[in-house]
Structure 1
Amino acid sequence: MYTRLPTLLICVALTGGMAMAQGCPQAPDHAARMQDLVAQVRQAETETEARRITTQMWEMWTDAPDAVAQEMLDQGMERRAAYDFLGAITVLNRLVDYCPDYAEGYNQRAFVRFLRQDFPAALSDLDRAIALSPDHIAAIAGRALTLMGLRRMDEARIDMARALDLNPWLPERGLAAPGGPLAPRGQDI
């Protein structure tokens, strides 16, 4: 059983359903801090240092607009981690319905759809996440992988290059290295 469900129900009960009825508040504005983290990760000298900075980025991305949205995000991620992809999508659908301007809801739903190899639906979610958060490195890298799954390699190369420009330490960087499937043309053989 999911331990977060009672907390979500308590949040809804305590607000009398008002939070859901009033809609999602604005997501926290982490733009300035995120720009600082991007600058730091670009200058990181080791992978360990880059991972520490990336963890801080994830803390910003997964900082939901309110307690109700946070519960839905956490529960969706927990269900994904437990390979309950349909349950994860159900919860994340509710999250994006409740918070249509929260990029991470779309990014997480895209990840589940990617794992299910529903690449067209994942791409749609990633496009929305990036429209809401243009420098969302994980969404950009996810878009590159999704385009790769759709065999749209030239577009995937462009997105991976963009993601690596923002974070040269991405785990997916080997895909764009010489000999990798997303290496610049002429270096992908």
Structure 2
Amino acid sequence: MKAHLGLHNRIVAAFVLVFLAAAPAFAQTAKLDDLFSRLKSADEGESKRISQEIWTEWSKSGSPAMDLLLERGRNAMAQGHPEIAIEHLTALIDHDPDFPEGWNARATAYYQTGNLGPAIADIGHVLTLNPRHYGALAGLGAIFEELEKPKEALEVYKAALAINPHAEGVEDAIKRIETKLQGKDL
């Protein structure tokens, strides 16, 4: 009986550890759900604040070491060194491949270096892990525009706008592409 009790205690302890480790993710999801709900009906001023809160939540990996790699990658990009950013962000992804913002930041760095294929691949990872990532969708739209694929760009821009009705620059991009496509039909 003692052997069964010891095994039971270890199983319960393992479940508690798994639950505690996952609790921040559940809390983050609930908070994000609330923010996205509020974003749908927010005015333009409030939407900027809510969007910033969403990005803040997205940037939390749950690990100080991973957060530091993300910060170093972002700082390298801000200083005009996307190649160095790619190194930091690749290390982040290697250690935490389930953290969407690592993939998103590296996609941005790849885009800055003109490596559109790897940028698109990383955006695919972001959207698999976080389908509501309107920033990744907007980035994909910009890449499709650059590749002169206006119909694909329009589709992903509209998807980004459906998630965040105030996503910066997206409404203008949609109007620009729709005008361009109407001109081709005439």
TM range (shorter): 0.7 to 0.9
* Structure 1 residue ranges, 4+ long, deviating more than 4 angstroms after superposition: 182-185
Aligned pairs for 1:32-181 (under 5 A) are: 32-45=30-43, 47-172=44-169, 173-177=171-175, 180-181=176-177
Question: Which runs of no fewer than 5 residues in structure 1 stay unpaired?
Answer: 1-24
SS at match of 1:171: coil
User: Structure 1, residues 104-155: CA drift from partner, whole Å, max 9, x if none?
Assistant: 0000000111122211111000011100111111111111112222222211
Shift of 1:188: 8.3
Aligned match of 1:17: none
Aligned match of 1:22: none
**What is the CA RMSD across the aligned residues, in angstroms?**
2.1
Shift of 1:41: 1.5
Aligned match of 1:19: none
Shift of 1:181: 2.2
Shift of 1:52: 0.3
Q: How far apart are the structure 1 equivalents of 2:25 and 2:53? A: 15
Question: Which runs of no fewer than 5 residues in structure 2 stay unpaired?
Answer: 1-20
Q: How far apart are the structure 2 equivalents of 1:78 and 1:182? A: 35
Checking the alignment, whether the CA contact within 8 Å between 2:110 and 2:116 is kept in structure 1 is yes
Checking the alignment, whether the CA contact within 8 Å between 1:96 and 1:102 is kept in structure 2 is yes
Checking the alignment, whether the CA contact within 8 Å between 1:92 and 1:105 is kept in structure 2 is yes
Q: How far apart are the structure 2 equivalents of 1:74 and 1:101? A: 17
Aligned match of 1:3: none
Checking the alignment, whether the CA contact within 8 Å between 1:92 and 1:109 is kept in structure 2 is yes
Larger mean CA deviation between 78-87 and 31-40 belongs to: 31-40
> Structure 1 163/187 Cα, relative in aligned 2: closer, same or farther at 3 Å?
farther
User: Letter of the aligned partner of 1:114 in structure 2?
Assistant: Y
Q: How far apart are the structure 2 equivalents of 1:182 and 1:111? A: 25
> Structure 1 130/183 Cα, relative in aligned 2: closer, same or farther at 3 Å?
farther
User: Letter of the aligned partner of 1:38 in structure 2?
Assistant: F
Which is bigger in relative contact order (C-alpha 8 A, separation at least 6)? 1
Checking the alignment, whether the CA contact within 8 Å between 1:181 and 1:188 is kept in structure 2 is no
Shift of 1:187: 7.6
Shift of 1:32: 2.2
Shift of 1:65: 2.6
> Structure 1 188/48 Cα, relative in aligned 2: closer, same or farther at 3 Å?
farther
The TM-score, its normalising length taken from structure 2, stands at 0.80
